[in-house]
Homo-oligomer: A and B are copies of this chain.
Amino acid sequence: MTFREVCLSGEYRVAVLGATGVVGQEMVKVLEERNFPVASLRLLATERSAGKELEFRGEAVKIEKAGSSSFRNIDIALFSAGSAASRKFAPLAVKAGAVVIDNSSAFRMDNQVPLVVPEVNSQEIAGHNGIIANPNCSTIQLVVVLKPLLDKAGLQRVIVSTYQSVSGTGKDAVRELQSQTGALLRHRKAHRNIYPHQIAFNIIPHIGDFEDSGYTMEEMKMVHETRKILDMPDLAITATTARVPVFIGHTESVYVETVSVIPLKKLILLLLKSPGIKLVDDTANNKYPLPIMTEIYDEVLVGRIRRDLSIETGLNMWIVANNLRKGAALNAVQIAELLPQDKADRPEEK
């Protein structure tokens, strides 16, 4: 069966690489929740996880060890196993005929690879050569909100400070926050293994390695990826990223200076009708985005919208999203959902 035939049949043979990770598990959940047309599901992981099972549509699916032949007869491969695994397996998967949607940073800045947030630049999907990159979690929720602003009023500069949850680091980090918190509440020592400092009841301004510039990799991802997704290579954007003792949900305090003034009421209306956004901005009733809300909402939550009282084109916003879902698994599946229309007529897939 060719990719084209599969596309026309409307059912995909899907593989998830890194299926036991926090994002991988979420990918399987999202495929089911969104009724993604899955003909078959292959779950791949390292040898350590092989033999375990995950449930999909009420059936147990056995996890297989990823290998060079794992992507035979796969149409769509969702990758979330880290950059090294992506570099190793993506070329094999593409060669086997699959389209790879990669959640790692391996190919994001590759000129040949589209970096896609469906609400922002879905048109880029058509140009792919077998790999489509899923942006960094903190970038995704930012650009979903920046895009309508850019289109309406232009972007002069962006200054972001983040409050990122530990699930962004993975399962072991979630356990570390749990165990440290429990220990400290019992007046015991908080042992650390994943983070360079205690994360319980603390804030760590260090996500990813430090570069010579003094910025972390995470901060520079936000800069480079935002520029690529918005197609603004010279956008003035700077970020400070910090890890906070929160399990799920990334928060961003975002300062935006637009080119032209956009009245606040117009901005609210604009965001209300923009895709993927849920406005939570009713301070009179103590309503504003909170990380714990992301257990319920898949949208990017925006609130605390207000004008910089000293600069007419300046705006402050508070942006929260589920880093495992919109920041990773959901965005990847949304890309997959856009594949058929774009891909069915492309002759090179077979």
CB of A306 within 8 A of chain B?
yes
Q: Which residues of B contact A288 (CB under 8 A)?
A: 205-206
The answer to whether B308 touches A255 (Cβ under 8 A) is no
Please state if B202 and A305 are interface contacts (CB–CB under 8 Å): no
In the complex with contacts A182-B185, A305-B214, A318-B246 CB distance below 8 A = no
Known: A185-B185, A238-B314. A202 touches B306 (CB 8 A): no
A145 to chain B, nearest CB (A): 15
A203 and B244 form a contact (CB under 8 A): yes
- Out of B157, B240, B310, which one reaches A316, CB within 8 Å? B240
Which one, B245, B255, B303, B305, contacts A238 given CB within 8 A?
B255
> What CA separation (Å) do A251 and B201 show in the bound complex?
12
Chain B residues within an 8 Å CB radius of A204: 290
Q: Give Cα distance in the complex from A163 to B157, angstroms.
A: 23
Q: Please tell me if A311 contacts chain B, counting CB pairs below 8 Å.
A: yes
**Proximity string of chain A (33-69) to chain B, C-beta cutoff 8 Å, 1 when within and 0 when not:** 0000000000000000000000000000000000000
The residue of chain B having its C-beta at the shortest distance from the C-beta of A223 within the complex is B309
Q: Closest CB-CB distance, A260 to chain B, in whole Å?
A: 19
**Chain B residues closer than 8 Å to A235, beta-carbon distance:** 310
Question: Whole-angstrom distance between the alpha carbons of A292 and B195 in the complex?
Answer: 14
Q: Are B181 and A291 in contact (CB under 8 A)?
A: no
A161: chain B residues within 8 A (beta carbon): 161, 253
Say whether B284 contacts A210, CB under 8 Å.
yes
Residues of B within 8 A of A306 (CB): 213-215
Is A341 interfacial (CB 8 A cutoff)? no
Which B residues touch A205, using CB under 8 A?
251, 253, 288-289, 303-304, 318
Contact of A309 among B163, B213, B308 (CB under 8 A): B213
Binary flags per residue of A163-190, CB closer than 8 Å to B gives 1, else 0: 1000000000000011001100100000
Say if the beta carbon of A286 comes within 8 Å of chain B: yes
Residue from the list B197, B286, B290 in contact with A290, Cβ < 8 A: B197
Within 8 Å CB of A215, what residues of B? 306, 309
Not counting A177-B201, A238-B308, a sample of 6 additional A-B residue pairs whose C-beta atoms are within 8 angstroms of each other reads: A197-B286, A201-B291, A203-B244, A205-B253, A206-B286, A206-B288
CB-based closest 5 A-B pairs: A214-B306, A161-B253, A236-B310, A161-B161, A210-B283
